[in-house]
Amino acid sequence: MVVTEAAGLYVHIPFCSAICPYCDFAVARGGEADRERFVEALVGEIVLLGSSGGEGGTGATRSFESARFDTVYFGGGTPSALSVEQLGAIRRRLVGTLAIDPEAEWTIEVNPEDASAESLGGWRELGFDRISLGLQALDNRALRFLGRRHDEAAARASVERAREAGFRSVSVDLIYSLPGFEGGWWLGTLDETAALGPDHISCYELTIHDGTPFGRRRDAGRLREAGEDERAANFVATHRRLAELGYEGYEVSNFARREGDRSRHNRKYWRHQPYLGLGPSSHSFAGRSRWWNVAPWRDWSAAVAGGDSPVAGREELADDQLLLEAVMMGLRQRSGIDCAALESRFGIDPAAGARGQIDAWEKAGWLRVRGRRLEPTLEGLARADRLAREWKLR
């Protein structure tokens, strides 16, 4: 499949100065020499993209040979763990190899401790116009619990400095449902965050993954994970409070002050639009194909250095799988599921097999039926994963 519609580009930078105790991403600490080697490998992966005879190289990515990209997202890990010069080398190679719109949205994820005025100015000069700051919390006790390297003052200052540096859109990430931080703590965090005036806020529930330090503490009975009811109550309270503060929850975890502040890049994931991932563990999608790179960065780097494809796996999705994914993503967005549009795309009415559930969920106040559009209510969004699991196509 050759991509003709505007595509997204994701670049994964795997390094972090320390690994947070709840993290299960493909990350590494890496010293300066590792980071240099990584940048060389990433440039190598981009060069492989540009070489049309990439059968042994990046055959899967040839779908994007003539694609036009209108969003670019540097995520991780911590992209701000690389120097401005290293990021500049990656950017130059991207711009020289791929057709990136001059008006493209360029997002960089940054940790507050890296957000000096100098670095912020450097990222702006490289063309990043949207910044996603990993605040996670706004008080020192919670930041210590999460094992973060910044303190409250750095979190607050990073938002202010990003604004001064001229980013078009400033987004912040927060984590909630922290054990031991109940009561009004979380709503207070939301109030204080909104007072800093970011354009966009992402709120993620703390998930405790097996094999992480938090997972081991939970298994040893030293960390209590929030229960389902508590999580649902926190979720609803989050959306209500942020709505009062002027942030519309347009997706399960994402809130924006204005339509134009919504993440254009993330929307591609939620709408089955094409995106190309570069770097270790990154995923790509085009048409009905999804493929992903090797996760450990040294293995990915060795593959690229040897001129081999770093792709670790690939799947071709059948219509039913694509349709179920579209339903699942619709249940996670306030705009909901457009059954007419999905039926014209797949030839199957996604509601046909789920009439009984849809009626029950409407009565329970979880779904609103507006003609052929099904919109989750706030209570429905809180149960999006469950609704998706129980959805039947036939």
Is residue 20 a contact point for ligand SF4 (CB under 6 A)? yes
**Rounded Cα–Cα distance for residues 11 and 73 (Å):** 6
Burial of 140 (0-12, 13-18, 19+ CB in 10 A): middle
Among 9, 11, 27, 374, binds ligand SF4 (CB under 6 A): 27
**Rounded Cα–Cα distance for residues 388 and 391 (Å):** 5
Tell me whether residue 204 or residue 346 sits nearer to ligand SF4 (CB atom).
Answer: 204
Is residue 76 a contact point for ligand SF4 (CB under 6 A)? yes
Stretch of 57-65, 70-78, 163-171, 327-335 contacting ligand SF4, by CB under 6 A? 70-78
Q: Which residues is 314 bridged to in the sheet?
A: 291
Structure tokens at 283: 């995923």
Is residue 16 a contact point for ligand SF4 (CB under 6 A)? yes
Is residue 157 a contact point for ligand SF4 (CB under 6 A)? no
Tell me whether residue 59 or residue 179 sits nearer to ligand SF4 (CB atom).
Answer: 179
Interior angle at CA 143, CA 141 and CA 147, nearest 5:
115
CB of 173 to ligand SF4, least distance (A): 9
CB of 214 to ligand SF4, least distance (A): 11
Among 6, 23, 236, 369, binds ligand SF4 (CB under 6 A): 23
Tell me whether residue 212 or residue 357 sits nearer to ligand SF4 (CB atom).
Answer: 212
Secondary structure of residue 135 in the 3-state scheme: strand
Residue 317: count other Cβ atoms within 10 Å of its Cβ: 16
Is residue 185 a contact point for ligand SF4 (CB under 6 A)? no
Which sign, positive or negative, has the C-alpha torsion 352, 372, 3, 282?
Answer: negative
Tell me whether residue 162 or residue 342 sits nearer to ligand SF4 (CB atom).
Answer: 162
Structure tokens at 304: 């690229």
Tell me whether residue 151 or residue 362 sits nearer to ligand SF4 (CB atom).
Answer: 151
CB of 14 to ligand SF4, least distance (A): 8
**Rounded Cα–Cα distance for residues 133 and 154 (Å):** 11
Is residue 295 a contact point for ligand SF4 (CB under 6 A)? no
CA nearest neighbour of 124 among 135, 115, 113, 137: 115
Tell me whether residue 25 or residue 181 sits nearer to ligand SF4 (CB atom).
Answer: 25
Stretch of 74-82, 121-129, 191-199, 316-324 contacting ligand SF4, by CB under 6 A? 74-82
Question: Residue 233 in contact with residue 382, Cβ under 8 Å?
Answer: no
Residue showing tokens 């440039």? 43
Cα dist from 270 to 103, 177, 284, 329, whole Å: 21, 24, 13, 6
Tell me whether residue 70 or residue 173 sits nearer to ligand SF4 (CB atom).
Answer: 173
Q: Which residues of this protein are in contact with ligand SF4, per CB under 6 A?
A: 16, 19-20, 23, 25, 27, 76-78, 111
